[in-house]
Amino acid sequence: MHSHRLTANRRFGSRRRGFRITVDPLLPLVVILMAWVLSERYFPQIMYTQATWIYWTMGIVSSIFLTLSIFFHEYGHAVAARRLNLPLERIHLYLFGGMAELRQRPVRPVEELLIALAGPLASLLFAGIAWGFAQITHHDHNEAYLVLQFVFYMNLLLAGFNLLPIFPLDGGRAMRALLWHVQKYYYKASLFTYYISIGIIMCLLLVAVVLMITEDAFTSFWVALLAGYLWYTAYSGRDELIYQPDFEDLVFRIKGKRSPASIIRQINRIDAQYLPNAIIPVTNNGELESVVFGRDLKKIPGEEESLQHLYRPVEEGYYVDVEDESTYKPGVRLKAELLPVLQDGAILGLSDGNEIRFWLLQHKGILFHRESERSSDD
């Protein structure tokens, strides 16, 4: 599963090739529990040996391979994103799955489709590798064969489950990409995806009820359990699907004085983590004249402190003008996360550059009839 800008609570991690790998602190307990189930329940039922340590070795190796399978699945998303020049924030492994988190959302349906399908394809590749090695060890090493057979089936299951058309599973994201391609409007496609996901889950619950009446409670229980898990999964992705921002929701309006020092302090008061990734506008009679990079700041400046030594000339990618598509078209590389937003050259405020670009591309052709707040620098 991949996502755009989701966060996890408690985590620890490391960096690898430009992105973080984070792991839920409780994941080792799940690995141990899985090893116990496999060594005490699964492998003793499909093979006979008098040595308990062999079962435990097989269980531990299988549970480690299962965790690696989840990582490999998420790494498939990461490779596809990097190929499409979409930066990856991290790969996060949690208790019963994983997530590849992108720093910015895909701007075209085909990009979301390719990234969504890359995870299941990676799982199928992992399954193929496991199957190939299983055939090599089949006759001489029965224990290795059974472990590799388990890894093969688990990766098939991982790929198949993630292809279910339930958002935020990969199948749900692929479905949204296709709807987006047909609808030509991301936000409407997201709503349709949500309704379809809930509709499929309701159908599964109906099947569980029918099975309870016509067949047996055991089968009905597992179908209902699957429906319940999918409901929880869909609910976790609900906010992303129903999010329908207006232009005003994406723009941070500058209050009071528009001097660089005042803007810097306003950003810092709202959330200091934005400042190192911000471009601060320097205006003259309401027009963008120069910029200051937040990363160049050594401290938060005082009211009268001059930042002129940090001024940089304005270049492409330093700002977005809502009336000038050349400033936010997909080929333009935005130089920071928080950028000045202009309308006909006048400052409207600041915004996440990738989010405002995506919104503008989705609403291309809409006219912005708003009074630009024009005021002089102090």
- What is the distance between the alpha carbons of residues 114 and 256, in angstroms, rounded to a whole number? 45
Q: Are 350 and 278 in contact (CB under 8 A)?
A: yes
Report angle CA 40, 41, 44 to the nearest 5 degrees: 80
Q: In whole angstroms, give the CA distance from residue 350 to residue 340.
A: 4
Burial call 114-132: b when 16+ CB within 10 Å, e when fewer: bbbbbbbbbbbebbeebbe
Coil, strand or helix: which one is 259?
coil
Q: How far apart are CA 24 and CA 15, in angstroms?
A: 15
Closest residue by Cα to residue 6 from 78, 95, 96, 105: 105
Asked whether the beta carbons of 353 and 336 are under 8 A apart, the reply is yes
User: Which residue has tokens 């630009």?
Assistant: 372
Task: Give Rg (Cα) of the chain.
Answer: 26
pLDDT of 215: 80
pLDDT at residue 367, rounded to an integer: 38
Reply yes or no: is the peptide bond before residue 168 cis, omega within 30 of 0.
Answer: yes
Q: What angle do CA 170, 172, 174 make, to 5 degrees?
A: 70
| pLDDT at residue number 374 | 37
CA separation for the pair 60, 173 (Å, rounded) = 33
Q: Per-residue DSSP letters for 35-73?
A: HHHIIIIIHHHH---S-HHHHHHHHHHHHHHHHHHHHHH
Partners of 280 in the β-ladder: 292
Give the tokens for residue 121: 């394809």
CA distance 355 to 328: 11
Per-residue model confidence (pLDDT) at position 2: 59
Please tell me the distance from the alpha carbon of residue 140 to that of residue 169, in angstroms, as a whole number: 39
Provide the residue-wise pLDDT of the chain in tens; the chain has 378 residues: 655 543 333 333 334 446 688 888 888 888 899 899 999 888 888 888 768 888 899 999 999 999 999 999 999 999 999 898 888 888 888 877 888 888 888 888 999 999 999 999 999 999 999 999 988 887 767 888 999 999 999 999 999 999 999 998 999 999 999 999 998 889 899 999 999 999 999 999 999 999 888 887 888 888 999 999 899 889 888 888 888 888 888 898 888 777 888 888 888 888 888 888 899 998 887 788 899 998 888 888 876 677 888 899 999 999 999 888 889 888 888 888 899 999 888 888 899 988 898 898 888 744 343 333 333 344
pTM: 0.79
